Structure 1
């Protein structure tokens, strides 16, 4: 399989999984391992194409962003609280991500860690869904700063490959008293600074590998970015509808089954 076709496949995987509580990074790592790719060579690609999925959120929620931007210009308290909460939630990942970068990269090269994390995460989702009562905090601007900081620390669990960033932030928000739709949207918007920061750090760390031809090239990255953007556009609204009707149970069972199958296949290699 050539690199361009691989980029298209991985772009589809990223677009489908970025905002579902199933771990996009974990799926990309497992796809690479099961298809025999060199994980180190595709590592930066896997980070950067996530920006395509993030761009889908910007497009889908452009009215919200425009309202916040114009509100900031006018000094609107609601817009200020909206941005404040996202920045507070972003800080833990920014600090811990830089300090733990080498340890995170080591885990990224261990597909079996991903498979186990998928199963454990699935069980955790089922437990949280059963125990957590419906939250009452509605709207990102209404989330208390302390709750935003708590969501930010919970997001850091996603630095373990196979632990879903969206799943961690959404379920973390639910457990802290945020209602379901607001929890999902908080996760979507928090992804923007988080993934932008991760992409900048990852790109800076792999420029030499790209120049030497030891990493996937800009054409493949561009194609993967575009594919993940288009696919994520279709997935985000579907996801919000599914969660509203059925909760997170279907995704939990998917994680358990997918992790078990991946671990079996990896053990046979």
Structure 2
């Protein structure tokens, strides 16, 4: 990977990780267009730059992380399903990750759902994440597991799950951001563990690329989160549904036309 590729992927990660548009799909398209060759470091990079986006959530909502110990218990409860499903279906998830067609179809189907979400769940009564019960947190965590299907979008699944459990759009989005912290941290830790367990070592140049990627991802994610919350509160999900359908259709066409797509 060169510095230009790192900057582009970091911007994409920061923009798409917390939006309901699937960062995986965008990474596949971008890496394929740039001709990035997948190797152990590239696979590590695409996961490890999530640390920067995680930090953006903690910085933006730092008061929430120090408000109550119950906050952490609820995040832990919501995080449990991802651990269980991840352990049970890790092989199947890895298999699906190798299928750009699956990503494209998931993008389209998820986009269709987003076109109607605002009508289906327009009576949210919970406007503060502190009001979420432990049972509701657990159910949102189950919804998040749907995103183990590549292209679904972790944020999209957990936000829709929150709205289905009577959270307002804003509260559902914020809880999705909070839930991303343990989920993405665990994914990054596992990827780092596997990387070193297999005998790989990061050299100084690769460390610099990771630092640059995380810094860029951090600042882009700050902007993306603030903009997304403001837009979502006023306008809803329809534009994201349309966007997903367009991107997913492009991805499916690329696959069916024989375009060589690289899953990184």
TM-score (norm 2): 0.90
Counterpart for residue 126 of structure 2 = 137
Return the alpha-carbon distance in structure 2 between the equivalents of residues 147 and 141 of structure 1. 12
Return the alpha-carbon distance in structure 2 between the equivalents of residues 248 and 232 of structure 1. 19
Return the alpha-carbon distance in structure 2 between the equivalents of residues 142 and 264 of structure 1. 44
- 1:40 CA drift (Å): 4.9
1:211 aligns with 2:210: no
Structure 1 residues 241 and 138: CA distance shift in structure 2, 3 A: same
Return the alpha-carbon distance in structure 2 between the equivalents of residues 3 and 108 of structure 1. 24
Return the alpha-carbon distance in structure 2 between the equivalents of residues 226 and 38 of structure 1. 23
1:228 aligns with 2:217: yes
Any unmatched runs of 5+ in structure 2? Answer: 260-264
Return the alpha-carbon distance in structure 1 between the equivalents of residues 33 and 4 of structure 2. 16
Say whether the 8 Å CA contact 1:33–1:111 is kept in structure 2. no
Matches within 5 A, 1:106-145: 106-145=95-134
Say whether the 8 Å CA contact 1:115–1:259 is kept in structure 2. yes
Matches within 5 A, 1:55-66: 55-66=55-66
Return the alpha-carbon distance in structure 2 between the equivalents of residues 211 and 122 of structure 1. 40
Deviations 1:18-71 (A, max 9, x none): 1100011222123223333234542221111111111111111122223x2xxx
Counterpart for residue 27 of structure 2 = 28
- How many pairs align? 255
The structure whose residues are more often helix, as a share, is: 1
SS at match of 2:200: helix
Among candidates 140, 145, 148, match of residue 137 of structure 2: 148
TM-score (norm 1): 0.89
Say whether the 8 Å CA contact 2:117–2:237 is kept in structure 1. no
RMSD: 1.9
